Amino acid sequence: MYAARRPSIARQSPLATQAGFTLVEVVVVVVILAVFASVVGLSVGSSEARKNLAFYEHVTDTLDYVRLLSAERMQPMGMQLQNQQGQTVPVIVQLDNAYAAYQHTPQVQPPKNNMELSADISGRGLEDIKPTWQVTPDVHLPPLPEGVTLSVQSLETAANAAQGQTLQPWFTSGVPEVLWFGTGQAAPVTIEIRYNARLVGEVIRILPDGRVHVGAE
């Protein structure tokens, strides 16, 4: 009798048995990549948010400090928006040598308060003494982060804020957008800091009594 033949098993090449990725594996890889990309995006976004919020807090703290400094020195001070190399930059300024006329003519009655800068210096040889707004060397604001803008609205002019008192020309021209008179009072304004048109923090309000208020009224 013939021995039963075992069915022969055809040998397959390893290349023939190699299979590609399954659909499930491809989907898993895509999901992992998407999660990784979102994590990186959140990390970058949160870094920008932290930097912008730090700038916002620096501005509010500096404004509060300038308010106190202006009252302590009895010196008009404020924040001015200056154009530097095509970019708007906030700087802290003060009215330099505001009382030159009184310093050089002791016989002249000094002002009743720091808003009344109305000494008549005509004919006294003091016409060349013209106090101007100067950048304060000992108070600095950080540069605006990229994409961040700072705007000031509802500014009352110095003349109106001084309630009709006579002011020297240098106090009504070139006046900073944010202004304290050195008496504890201020020209009321609202300040907004935005990143790509979105508000950073809350609206900052400078009240007529000089206080820095953050948020709704």
Measured in whole angstroms, the distance separating CA 106 from the mean position of its chain's CA atoms is 42
Which among 89-98, 105-114, 143-152 has the top mean pLDDT? 143-152
Query: Among 216, 198, 204, 215, which Cα is nearest to 64's?
Result: 204
Write down the CATH superfamily of domain 21-214. minor pseudopilin epsh domain (3.55.40.10)
Model confidence band, residue 57 (pLDDT cutoffs 50, 70, 90)? very high
Judge whether residue 41 has pLDDT over 60: no
User: Is residue 180 within 8 Å of 67, Cβ to Cβ?
Assistant: yes
Provide the residue ranges of all domains of the chain, joining segments of one domain with +: 21-214
Average pLDDT taken over every residue of the chain: 74
Q: Enter the pTM of the model.
A: 0.66
The number of residues making up the chain comes to 217
Q: Give the pLDDT confidence of 136-172 residue by residue, as tens digits.
A: 988 989 888 888 999 998 656 544 554 555 556 566 6
- Are the C-beta atoms of residues 149 and 56 closer than 8 Å to each other? no
